[in-house]
Amino acid sequence: MSLSLERAGLAVLHRFDPETAHGLSIKALRAGLVPTPGPVQSARLTTDLAGLSLPNPVGLAAGFDKNAEAVAPLMKAGFGFIEVGAATPRAQEGNPRPRLWRLTEDRAAINRFGFNNQGMEPITARLAKRPAGIPVGLNLGANKDASDRAADFATVLRHAGPHIDFATVNVSSPNTEKLRDLQGKAALSSLLANVIGARDGLARQIPIFLKIAPDLNATELAEIAQVALESGIDAIIATNTTLARDKLHDPTAPAQGGLSGAPLFEKSTRILAQLSQLTEARLPIIGVGGISSAEDAYEKIRAGASAVQFYTAMVFSGISLASRIATGLDALLERDGFANVSEAVGTGRASWL
């Protein structure tokens, strides 16, 4: 599919409300209407992430394929790894619609989905049937009405663990009331201990990632770094969406919900660099937030990320963006004389501190 055809397809999707358009994009992937050229790979791009072998460090962030309905085509869309979910133990509707807004002028989106998903059982069943290929992970969530939300993460992991390559503990969504309270030092330590215990009970020891919010002060970030190092998790994803509304041009942007896309780039990259410094680069960090080009991905890596993820930019640039970012990143690494992407990690961190 040419870029002109992809742009035409995006123009059609943008005539629908954002959530309907999202559903149509998943159906198009499943129907084979979207090009799937396979992962972009080169000696410069191939890297290791917490024991996972990646053909390239450009990943799909959680939230695009919540119910693991398009895993096979997404595995061949150019990404080096993908993450699906979030999955909760029981199916839940999430928050009432409308709950997704497209901010075209800002190249951004705001969502307040509230962990809407079909539940761990159908999601796991689909993951069990996925083809071999790039690493596939699952974002773990908690039911809104759970009496013990912390226990939900371990429940999903025990159920889905045999069929995934990594799992992400998501305590950073702003759309489930009091979920971010689990980022506090004591609560987070207990939660991660339970999740690690569940992981250790699996036949195959998969890496555990922690996804954090960008709306953390210096003290909170330092505590998270300490807990992460002490807990035995394998990597940190920085960051989820933000509650801030800085520098937005769209006057209709809703006050509630998580903001993703271009306006999040600076804030999330600064958190990433600070986290890299706090952990003394002892834990891999996956940089997320505002990536829409190879240059953005490269900046995240230079700030301290071992790999990156994106999602919102596809709303405006299409799924071929995965291949374009990976190919462009390869060229940037070659330009600057890096034999492998791992050599570039953290080389520009100081400029973000």
**Could you read off the pLDDT tens digit of each residue along the chain, which spans 353 residues?**
578 888 999 999 999 999 999 999 999 999 998 888 899 999 999 999 999 999 999 999 999 999 999 999 999 999 999 999 999 999 999 999 999 999 999 999 999 999 999 999 999 999 999 999 999 999 999 999 999 988 999 999 999 999 999 999 988 777 676 666 777 788 899 999 999 999 999 999 999 999 999 999 999 999 999 999 999 999 999 999 999 998 899 988 999 999 999 999 999 999 999 999 999 999 999 999 999 999 999 999 999 999 999 999 999 999 999 999 999 999 999 999 999 999 999 999 999 99
- The structure tokens listed for 253 are 């942007």
Q: What's 232's DSSP letter?
A: T
Structure confidence at residue 157 (pLDDT): 98
Distance CA(147)–CA(162), nearest Å, equals 26
Catalytic residue (choose from 25, 172, 173, 306): 173
Domain ranges of the chain: 3-352
Distance CA(206)–CA(218), nearest Å, equals 30
Measured in whole angstroms, the distance separating CA 136 from the mean position of its chain's CA atoms is 12
Active site residue 173: yes
- The structure tokens listed for 144 are 């809104």
Classify domain 3-352 at the CATH superfamily level.
Aldolase class I (3.20.20.70)
Q: Which run of H or E residues covers position 59? A: strand 58-60
CB 208 within 8 A of CB 51: no
Q: Which residues sit opposite 109 in a β-bridge?
A: 102, 260
Structure confidence at residue 5 (pLDDT): 85
Distance CA(278)–CA(298), nearest Å, equals 21
Structure confidence at residue 1 (pLDDT): 57
Structure confidence at residue 79 (pLDDT): 98
